[in-house]
Amino acid sequence: MARTHLIAGNWKMHLSPAEGRELVTSIASGLGGTTAEILVCPTALGIADAIAAAAGSKVQVGAQNCHWEVKGAFTGELSAELIQSAGCSHVLLGHSERRQFFHETDETVSQRLKAVLRAGLVPVLCIGETLSERESGQLETVLRQQITGALAGIDAAQLTQLVVAYEPVWAIGTGVVASTEQAQEAHAFVRSVLAGVLGDLANDLRILYGGSVKPGNAAELLAQPDIDGALVGGASLKAEDFLGIIAAA
């Protein structure tokens, strides 16, 4: 079965609600007849405006993280159920910045993943190695641990909508991009690990590449057999750049 490209924008801590609404409006009006799926992930404050601007278009809206509990005394957190009730379709999980700055672990990522599935949302599981891990030959060990740790205790039947985003940490926001060969090699390995955990389902799951994706390099990356889309950071904040990546898909 052919896998439909997914082009996702992670806005991180950028754009006011009004700026996000304007950006989504511009993206939606410029999509043309693209066959790719489109996703934007605003800040929590920008979700409502992004959803309003996306109404009637192909643009879907996701959150950047969620808590694993349904409700409770967790100041500053959002449950998957609250995110779902706001109209989101997806949730990013385990982004390297969450792991680095907020001490996410494979265990907490797994808890969040279970919460996303509980709420009927689509999880976008982020994985990736640091430069030192790659240079010391730990690439496969790190990726395998992040995948198996996140999926531990979850039945394959629950993961039919899972999206995995491979982001080499050393290429996020640095302007450095893994070579096409490096990206494809890592994606093929990720799919092999998924196959070991989930069996034939791995052939249907989408694996996105993230790490300084731009209009100029998107087409070559997206042409690779195991790269099924992109998780875009900085280039998702400008309609022209994001639409250029979409066009490459």
Known catalytic residues are 95, 167
Nearest to 153 by CA among 124, 100, 117: 117
Strand residues in 44-200 grouped as ranges (E)? 59-63, 90-93, 122-127, 163-166
Angstrom CA distances, 126 to 83, 160, 195, stand at: 19, 17, 17
Three-point CA angle 194, 208, 143, nearest 5°: 45
Nearest to 154 by CA among 117, 202, 181, 125: 117
Give the three-class secondary structure for 180: helix
DSSP annotation of 42: -
Helices and strands: H and E segment counts in the chain: 10, 8
Angstrom CA distances, 223 to 18, 76, 169, 230, 249, stand at: 35, 40, 22, 12, 8
Sign (positive or negative) of CA dihedral 234, 239, 240, 242: positive
Residue 160 has a CB neighbour count (10 Å cut-off) of 10
